[in-house]
Structure 1
Amino acid sequence: MQSLNQDVLLSGGSNLGKPIAQCQQVIQYLQQQAAVRLVAISSLYLTEPVSPVEQGWFYNFALKLKTDLSPFDFLMLCQDIEKQFDRKRAEKWGPRSMDLDIIYYGSQIIESEDLVIPHQHLAERKFVLIPLAEIAPEFIDPQRNKSISKILRQTSDRHAVLLYEKKWFETQAVVSL
């Protein structure tokens, strides 16, 4: 059996279709991937959109994973999952059937046209920071040299992030892809 050495922190969310079921399906799909091992799942949060676009509230979560995929291969996996949910990229910061963002890939710093890690907007997004702080509060951001908890305490974001359900994955029926 191959060893899955790289820690990944992933943020996910949806506000179109059946968002809760879709978030559950993402976790189920990732659990089936040989190159990915799920370590922790945050609670599910109902979050106010951080966007000038009029839209419904999101359901957001965070995952801690281990993988042996490269950052770019992991990005392709995330984009493939988004496509399964018919993700459209027509409107920047618009509604989404599924949105997956790689927030951290270990302590790597990547700045390319296709991938920026750590995620460039994480410090301004409580909907990302609150779920991450739940599952990896002491993780140190390699650019800021601060823990997730400290970044959360210092954020200027005042958008609402409401706890929806703590054990949402284990207690809800999961619909297969």
Structure 2
Amino acid sequence: MKYYLDITLLPDAEANLGFLWQRVYQQIHIALADNKIAENQSAIAVSFPKYGDKAFPLGDKLRLLADQQAQLEQLDIAKWLNRLTDYTHATSIKSVPSSVNEYACFKRKAVKSELKRTVSLANHLSKPVEEIVKFRQDNGLNQNSKLPFIHMESQKPTETGQKNKFRLFIERHLYDSSVEGNFDCYGLSKTATIPWF
């Protein structure tokens, strides 16, 4: 990845960071899907430069990266964020600094809800759910994910016609060297890295 642009989220009293992440990332996902290079494959990756921030786990900045400047130009991010101009600021496209010596992989992490996990275990063991809940509580086995997430809404309606709402959990791993791979239409990858700066 040789080129990037940053999008800064600008919260106010009416729109907090959680709300803005939901709105902005939904638009980014639609933009990447609209510009995909293959089935669920994007030429553009995302980065969260302030990942792990104490004030808000994803921070207030989203970075889009691409191998070619033309890929970011073609995406035309201003078009996708046109209804959010009061709450976002996008920089011009810049070259990735040549001094980068660390790389990050941002991946989607599937996190089963505590209820689903408990019901699944109860079914597997042929025990009442209440018994499993008590056992998990007594033994400190309730584990809610500490990973940052963004509330998302699937564009494909369910069988009932409603849109599926879900949490997109995002995990970061840091590396000393670059790893090649593919990015999905969320801009995330199971293996590929992006320059971390």
Structure possessing the higher radius of gyration over alpha carbons: 2
TM-score (ref. length: structure 1) = 0.38
TM-score (ref. length: structure 2) = 0.35
